[in-house]
A and B are shown apart, each in its own frame.
Chain A
Amino acid sequence: MATYEDDHNLPASSTSLKPIPRRPRPDLSNFFSSLTLDSTTPSTSTIPSDETPSSAFTSLARAWQQSIEGNEVLESLIEQLIEEAQGGTTVKGVSQEFLDGLERIPKKELVEADICPICNTSFLLDQYPLVVRLPCHKSHAFDLECISPWLKLHTTCPLDRIDLTKKKTPPPPPADEEEEDWDDNYG
């Protein structure tokens, strides 16, 4: 079979410069198909290496890289793009394990007046309410369906903005209680 170099009357040695001589042709369908992936899909996605939105840009960058080899400016731009895609641009949210591990509130503990702060609807309007409690405060209860999309993109409680991924601060030392006692006396 005739190589690219044969066709274009180039010395065959130029192939040795390329780290991978036979790459697949640029294919933007990868890019567009990965864009349609739900970015909030947890990491148990069916496409293991493509679960982050940044992978779409990585594949785009690779496609460009193949089509414009030799242009230094564009190549440096592409390198930058790849670096950024691999670096800090990941969506920061909690893991599926975190969501699965949230404390469930049984239906019998709920009353009519308990509403989800996100949908503003009483939990009991749903015949089978799936309600979870966030670890920051015992009154911070949400429909799992409402809190999940938020926590997949953010790690904070919507009611007090406490970062749920941070370790809980240790209980206040006894010195604090003494101070409160003193306040009581003072008041």
Chain B
Amino acid sequence: MALPKRIIKETERLVAEPVPGIQAVPHDDNLRYFDVSIHGPTQSPYEGGVFKLELFLPEDYPMTPPKIRFLTKIYHPNIDRLGRICLDVLKANWSPALQIRTILLSIQALLGAPNPDDPLANDVAQRWKEDEPGAIATAREWTQTHAAP
């Protein structure tokens, strides 16, 4: 099936005017499948890390949200062991006016502002609430171990 014009335009713009700290490159053999990397925001425990994600645009995109998953291991209360992300705009709050770039920016913002009150990784969220400095230290260690550029 031909790729919708919107996906072509989004891809062109992602390449021509990349978002600082974010790369998204489509696969040659499947233009709906993107290799994504996000730089950890400064002032966050993920600073200095480069996190790899996979992004897939389903057939009915943009009526349904893109499917996104972290491939790099990350210690974060809203990201589970399998890399799945708990983010409202990826689920109930999706809107067809959102784009790949806005979604990736939201994920980068989520790294800068973990939300342990709406957890996906329960054990991480628990630790985040009970021992925030300890949790942040672990997140920093994991960044150095798994997300070294």
Contacts and interface: CB of A to CB of B under 8 A. Distances in A.
The answer to whether A and B assemble together is yes
A153 B96 CA distance: 12
Interface residues of A, number: 13
A149 interface: yes
A36 interface: no
B132 interface: no
A146 B95 contact: no
A158 B5 CA distance: 19
Interface residues of B, number: 12
Interface string B1-34: 0001110011000000000000000000000000
B63 A159 contact: no
Contact of A121 (B5, B62, B96): B5
B119 to A, nearest CB: 24
A135 interface: no
A146 B97 CA distance: 11
A153 B95 CA distance: 12
Given A149-B63, A150-B63, A153-B63, A120 B9 contact: yes
A129 interface: no
B93 interface: yes
Contacts of A91: none
A144 to B, nearest CB: 14
Contacts of B10: 120
Interface string B64-80: 00000000000000000
A156 B62 CA distance: 15
B5 A118 contact: no
B63 A117 contact: no
B9 A118 contact: no
Contact of A117 (B4, B93, B97): B97
Contacts of B4: 119
A161 interface: yes
B97 A158 contact: yes
B43 to A, nearest CB: 30
A118 B95 CA distance: 9
Interface string B86-110: 0000000101110100000000000
B112 to A, nearest CB: 23
Interface of B: 4-6, 9-10, 62-63, 93, 95-97, 99
Interface of A: 117-121, 146, 149-150, 153, 156, 158-159, 161
Given A120-B9, A121-B6, A153-B63, 7 more contacts: A118-B97, A119-B4, A119-B6, A149-B63, A158-B97, A159-B95, A161-B93
18 contacts: A117-B96, A118-B6, A118-B62, A118-B97, A119-B4, A119-B6, A120-B10, A120-B99, A121-B5, A121-B6, A121-B9, A146-B96, A149-B63, A150-B96, A156-B95, A158-B95, A159-B95, A161-B95
